A = this chain, B = another copy of it.
Amino acid sequence: MAETENRDLEGAEESLDFETLHGQRIEEMNSLLEQRSMKKLQTVLEEADEFDVAEFLGKLPEQQMAMVFRLLDKEHAAEVFAELDSEQQEYIINTITDTELGGILDELYLDDTVDMMEELPANVVKRVMRIATPATRALINQYLKYPENSAGSIMTAEYIDLKKYMNVRESFARIRRIGADRETIYTCFVTSADRKLEGIVTVKDLILADEDAVIESIMDDNVIFCTTTDDQEDVSGMFSDYDLLAIPVVDREKRLVGIVTVDDVMDVMEQETTEDMEIMAAITPSDRPYIRTGVFEIWKNRIPWLLLLMVSATFTGMILTSFEDALAVQVVLTVFIPMLMDTGGNSGSQASVTVIRSLSLGDIEFSDLARVVWKEVRVAVLCGATLAVATFAKVMLVDHLLMGNASVTVMVAAVVCLTMFLTVLCAKVVGCVLPMLADKLHFDPAVMASPFITTIVDAISLLIYFTIAKALLGI
């Protein structure tokens, strides 16, 4: 103990950078492995955090990884196992004996087991199910039936349940007896004889209460709970709104079936953010980290959207075709098309991303539509006016004077400015209305981000451009 302390805390004093320390630990493991000092490596591994060990293992060749993994004791092995990627888990499962696998399954938290099962190929799942104890098997089966991304699919069954007639002393005795393998002990759930949820009591309440106090008198019966079918995103919203460490999950009969803990919710938040960003960039979301996703799968996630958007861009092309004659007369108009389209697209994306994020944070809802549109209209007038003035100055100074493009007349500059102003106005309105409509129709508003808005705004800006050009330039 004393030696470890020296290593960690003196090392820390030299350099307070946690990342450096983390790197040093992994380096130490690597050098011990190179020197084949397996006994020393085993000691270092046992003292290290499961996350560090998992990272160390993840970078080893598969065979070596499986070998080092077997150096870990049963409990630590399960913790490290839960942190590995599904490919690595699969490899390890395929190289260890049934007894070893059984030991890991015993130690794994149920939600980690379920996560793993969802990723493994069918033949490996079969082997795991065969080796698991009947009780675990029944639970896994039950969990796998909950819809993806529901509270049921991320909950764990390892919680502490108390009865309301227990006193504090008895409760602590129960926590001591069953607490070691529970995912959280800090929120305890008070259930009736038929497993209905009656209240919650925190360990803080228990510690601060008198030893003889009865649970019923100290429990909070105004419980914040969710149901198995609730969306995981809504559940994670409850955590940040109410500062929870765990939330009870009940079934239709209001029986307590599991809990969701804050660490799982943080993973959900990361995953949902990634999903939102992918959808906003017109990519079908995937659960796998990018670096481990195959080229073909990435193509499959991206190409449908590119094709769809390309087809939509055809309308823009058709608009251009129908004005081909006008363009032939005034080729100079072509020069400003990219700038008008890009600025329109950017203006619209700004509004849509702001609205999508506000919707997802619950800051606005459909009933705020009028307020949002009114706000965006005023912002658009300010932005549009600024951009129009800047465009006029730029067109007259750069294109007309500096580059001496004689066909860029004041009238052409006026057409471009007016188009700019109206495009920004339309773009901002389209950008804020479409995500809110999508939300109202129970589509993911994130779909209405940059790519779609850009495609729509492109067509609008060209229509405005040529209508104004025809009117003002008489073509």
Contact = CB atoms under 8 A, between A and B. Distances in A.
Given A295-B382, A339-B310, A277 B321 contact: no
Interface residues of A, number: 142
A4 interface: yes
A207 interface: yes
Contact of A346 (B207, B451, B462): B451
Nearest to A237: B270
User: Interface SS of chain A: helix, strand, loop or mixed?
Assistant: helix
Interface stretch (A9-17, A96-104, A119-127, A139-147): A9-17
Interface string A288-306: 0111000110110011011
Interface in A262-320: 262-263, 265-267, 269-270, 273-274, 276-278, 280-283, 289-291, 295-296, 298-299, 302-303, 305-307, 309-311, 313-314, 316-318, 320
B281 A450 contact: yes
Given A240-B267, A353-B281, A13 B254 contact: yes
A350 interface: yes
Contacts of A463: none
B13 A354 contact: no
Contacts of A455: 342
A290 B431 CA distance: 14
A449 B280 CA distance: 11
Contacts of A226: 18
Given A317-B339, A386-B307, A283 B350 contact: yes
A321 B48 CA distance: 63
A337 interface: yes
A18 B175 contact: no
A258 interface: no
Nearest to A390: B307
Interface string A203-225: 11001100000001100011111
Interface centre among A47, A48, A386, A454 (most CB of B within 10 A): A454
A238 B18 contact: yes
A309 B306 CA distance: 23
B331 A324 contact: yes
B337 A338 contact: yes
A9 B248 CA distance: 13
A239 interface: yes
Interface in A127-181: 172, 175-176, 179-180
Contacts of A265: 266
Given A310-B391, A354-B278, A240 B270 contact: yes
Given A298-B375, A349-B281, A382-B299, A343 B313 contact: yes
Nearest to A262: B262
A298 B383 CA distance: 10
Interface in A354-375: 354-358, 361, 363-364, 368, 371-372, 375
A403 interface: yes
A193 to B, nearest CB: 15
Contact of A350 (B17, B252, B281): B281
7 contacts: A16-B252, A266-B266, A269-B270, A281-B449, A291-B375, A349-B451, A454-B454
